[in-house]
Amino acid sequence: MEYFLQQLINGLTLGSIYGLIAIGYTMVYGIIGMINFAHGDIFMVGAFIALMVILALGLTASAGLAFMLLALFIVLVVAMVFTSVWGWTVERLAYRPLRGSFRLAPLITAIGMSIVLQNFVQVSQGARVKPLQPIISGGVKLSEGDGGNSIVVQLSYMQMIIIVTTVVLMAGFSLLIAKTTLGRAQRACEQDQKMAALLGVNVDRTISLTFIMGAALASVAGLMFLLYYGVIDFYIGFLAGVKAFTAAVLGGIGSLPGAMLGGLLIGLIETFWSGYFTVEYKDVAAFSILAIVLIFLPSGLLGRPDVEKV
């Protein structure tokens, strides 16, 4: 039972990171009906920027609590600013000029920008992994081991931060979309961009802000990934991006709660499969569950079927 609880905590932590990235996919798809395949690399850039700022500030585990909180806040703000600029650039160069073109055109352009960004980071930062010494350590023991083969169930402070941050951001973005003027504009553009423009909604600005918001969330996920695993490389964006896209599809592309639910499910599937079976086939298990779900629920767990406008 202790092993199950520990794997559950690990799965929820990993799933929270996937969910934060998946929200960016689902927000963009919900408005323009296209997938931003450069989104995973924006997550990677956020992690690299966070690492550079942490090293520049000299932040270590021995730093005082006040300095650590201030430094992490600065790291987060800088990472969000840079990734938001890149998210806006992707929309401005890869999507806006091709919005009226056939659907594959912006998709191919986004993949091209993903490759450019990935190779730029590889050339500028090197292909080797970049380690980071643990900054936030310690945790709470939920179950004490009795010796022998018993397992100590521990919830680390970093896991608490990741899960709480994800819940707060999920709640905040849900309220933003449901209650604010920007959220109403996003929902109007999702239903009909032409009609929204006729009613006074600035469609271009709304779409740009959506890309910026998704990129900012990806940078938060990048910082959490860096602090939790302590190692990054130029390729993490592709792997995490594919997993997050899978999570968005599993939960129901276009649904924010669905993206978070899909992220949690993918994280739990990977963790439990790795713990109870073999780590080599954890990706096969995740994609197999996705295929099974889509056979019976083509729109995903919380997705809504598309209604053709005539």
DSSP assignment string, 70-107: HHHHHHHHHHHHHHHHHHHHHIIIIISTTTTS-THHHH
| pLDDT recorded at residue 309 | 52
- pLDDT confidence of residue 148: 55
What is the DSSP annotation of 37-58?
TTHHHHHHHHHHHHHHHHHHHT
- Residue type for 148, please? G
Q: What is the pLDDT of residue 218?
A: 93
Q: What are the two backbone dihedrals, phi and then psi, of residue 177, each rounded to the nearest 5 degrees?
A: -70, -30
Q: Which amino acid is at 222?
A: G
Sequence ranges of the domains in the chain: 2-296
Q: Which amino acid is at 157?
A: Y
Structure tokens at 16: 């929270």
What's the confidence (pLDDT) of residue 174? Answer: 86
Burial 140-151 (b: 16+ CB within 10 A, else e): eeeeeeeeeeee
Per-residue confidence in pLDDT tens, the chain, 310 aa: 788 899 999 999 999 999 999 998 888 887 777 788 889 999 999 999 999 999 999 888 888 889 999 999 999 999 999 999 999 998 888 888 887 777 778 788 888 888 999 999 999 998 899 999 999 988 888 876 665 556 778 899 999 999 999 999 988 988 988 889 998 998 898 888 889 999 899 999 999 999 999 999 999 999 999 999 999 999 999 888 888 988 998 998 888 889 999 999 999 999 999 988 888 888 888 888 888 888 888 888 887 766 555 4
Tokens representing residue 74 in the block: 């600065």
Contact indicator for 160, 174 with CB cutoff of 8 Å: no
- Measure the CA–CA gap between 32 and 41, rounded to whole angstroms: 20
Helices (DSSP H) in the chain: which residue ranges?
A: 2-32, 39-57, 65-90, 104-125, 157-179, 181-191, 193-198, 203-229, 236-251, 256-276, 282-296
The helix (run of H) or strand (run of E) holding residue 156 is strand 153-156
Query: For the whole model, what pTM was predicted?
Result: 0.91
What's the token pair of residue 15?
A: 């799933």
CATH 1.10.3470 fits 2-296, yes or no: yes
